[in-house]
């Protein structure tokens, strides 16, 4: 593993630990607002007739999807970064020498090669949505030495980012839906 991979394995778990409490608060607030909207939607659907009565409940169900995806991805990230301290490499340990090892090649050249490969990966943007995130993830994987050294980069970060944006949008949308559904319930 290169020094860049070691830095990634120190920085990412720290960021995950820092974001643990705000992430939990965000998920709780989103779950409460969407849950309230779903409860009001169920009450409106139970007393209504026709397909229009089910609209609030269906919308609440749609808002639930990004919240659940973010909760699952967050938990997986917590698990993957929790065990990183167990996989530390020993500085200066290059493993067993083989017959094709180049004795003139040092750790600095390995680091430069890893950074060059990561920069090349970052320059290629092929994804349809969040192309920079996908390129940065591939570059991080390349710099860290692959998914074995960086298990937290195995999951597609674009899905996690989309779930985060969806969860952030679900809170005000669920609040607005709750207000409208409450007005509709009171108007009956």
Find all residues with CB under 8 Å of 151, minimum gap 6, and list them.
Answer: 80, 84
**Per-residue pLDDT for 174 more than 80?**
yes
123-143 pLDDT per residue, tens = 666 767 778 778 777 777 777
What's residue 43's pLDDT? 93
Confidence of residue 67 (pLDDT cuts 50, 70, 90): very high
**Per-residue pLDDT for 106 more than 80?**
no
**Domain range summary for the chain, segments of one domain joined by +:** 7-89+152-187
Read off the pLDDT of each residue in 157-164 and give the average, rounded to a whole number.
Answer: 92
Q: What is the residue-averaged pLDDT of the chain? A: 81
**Per-residue pLDDT for 103 more than 60?**
no
**Per-residue pLDDT for 100 more than 60?**
no
Residue 106: C-alpha distances to residues 9, 90, 95, 100, 110 (Å)? 22, 16, 13, 14, 6
Is residue 122 within a helix (H) or strand (E), and if so which, with residue range?
Answer: helix 107-123
Confidence of residue 154 (pLDDT cuts 50, 70, 90): confident
Confidence of residue 173 (pLDDT cuts 50, 70, 90): very high
Burial environment of residue 70 by CB neighbours within 10 A (0 to 12, 13 to 18, 19 or more):
buried
């Amino acid at each position: 593993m290169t020094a860049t991979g070691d830095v990634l394995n120190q920085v990412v778990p720290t960021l995950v630990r820092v974001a643990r409490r705000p992430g939990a608060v965000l998920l709780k607030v989103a779950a409460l607002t969407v849950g309230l909207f779903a409860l009001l939607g169920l009450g409106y659907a139970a007393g209504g007739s026709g397909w229009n009565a089910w609209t609030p409940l269906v919308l609440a169900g749609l808002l639930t999807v990004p919240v659940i995806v973010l909760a699952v991805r967050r938990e997986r990230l917590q698990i993957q970064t929790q065990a990183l301290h167990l996989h530390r490499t020993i500085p200066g340990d290059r493993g067993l020498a083989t017959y094709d090892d180049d004795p003139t090649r040092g750790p600095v050249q390995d680091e430069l090669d890893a950074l060059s490969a990561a920069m090349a990966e970052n320059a290629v943007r092929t994804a349809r949505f969040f192309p920079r995130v996908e390129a940065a993830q591939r570059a991080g994987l390349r710099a860290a030495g692959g998914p074995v050294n960086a298990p937290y980069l195995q999951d597609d970060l674009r899905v996690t980012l989309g779930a985060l944006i969806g969860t952030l949008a679900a809170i005000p949308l669920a609040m607005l839906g709750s207000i409208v559904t409450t007005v509709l319930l009171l108007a009956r």
